[in-house]
Amino acid sequence: MNDFVKGKIVIFLVIVGFSYSEAAFELTGDSIISLSLSGAGYAMLIPGGAVGSNPAVPFNQTGFSLTYRNLYNLKELRHTGISFYHEIFRLGITVKAFDFGCELYRENAFALSAAREVTKGLYFGLQIEHYRLSIRDYGSSGAYGFDLGCIWEVQENLSIAGGGTNLNRPQIGECSEGLPFILRAGLAYQPVEHFQIYADIFKDEDFPLETRLGVELSRLKYLTIRMGTADHPVSLSGGFDIHLNSVGVSYAFNSHKYLGFTHSFGMFFRMGD
Distances in Å between the Cα of 253 and the Cα atoms of 12, 33, 176, 264 are 23, 10, 35, 6
- Superfamily of domain 3-272 in the CATH hierarchy: Outer membrane protein transport protein (OMPP1/FadL/TodX) (2.40.160.60)
233 upstream amide cis, omega within 30 of 0:
yes
At 183 the pLDDT is: 95
At 174 the pLDDT is: 75
Mean pLDDT lowest among 15-24, 128-137, 215-224, 258-267: 15-24
At 20 the pLDDT is: 42
Distances in Å between the Cα of 34 and the Cα atoms of 2, 28, 86, 103, 236 are 36, 11, 20, 27, 13
Q: Name residues whose C-beta falls within 8 Å of residue 175's C-beta, 6 or more positions apart in sequence.
A: none
Span 257-267, pLDDT tens digits: 778 899 999 99
Q: What is the dihedral of CA 36, 9, 202, 194, to 10 degrees?
A: 0
Q: Confidence class of residue 74 from pLDDT cuts 50, 70 and 90?
A: confident
Q: Confidence class of residue 114 from pLDDT cuts 50, 70 and 90?
A: very high
Rounded to a whole number of angstroms, the distance between the first and last alpha carbons of the chain is 53
At 217 the pLDDT is: 97
At 254 the pLDDT is: 92
Mean pLDDT lowest among 15-19, 45-49, 170-174, 184-188: 15-19
At 126 the pLDDT is: 96
CB 51 within 8 A of CB 65: yes
Mean pLDDT of all residues in 106-113 = 94
Q: Confidence class of residue 212 from pLDDT cuts 50, 70 and 90?
A: very high
- pLDDT surpasses 60 at 3: no
Q: Confidence class of residue 194 from pLDDT cuts 50, 70 and 90?
A: very high
Secondary structure (DSSP) of 106-156: EEEEEEEEEEEEEETTEEEEEEEEEEEEEETTTEEEEEEEEEEEEEEEEET
Per-chain mean pLDDT for the chain: 86
Domain boundaries of the chain, sorted by first residue: 3-272
At 31 the pLDDT is: 84
Mean pLDDT of all residues in 138-157 = 94
pLDDT above 70: percentage of residues in the chain: 86
Q: Give the span between the Cα atoms of 124 and 113, in whole angstroms.
A: 11
At 272 the pLDDT is: 67
* HEC secondary structure over 4-42: HHHHHHHHHHHHHHHHCCCCHHHHHHCCHHHHHCCCCCC
Q: Which residues pair with 123 in a beta bridge?
A: 117, 151
What is the reported pTM? 0.87
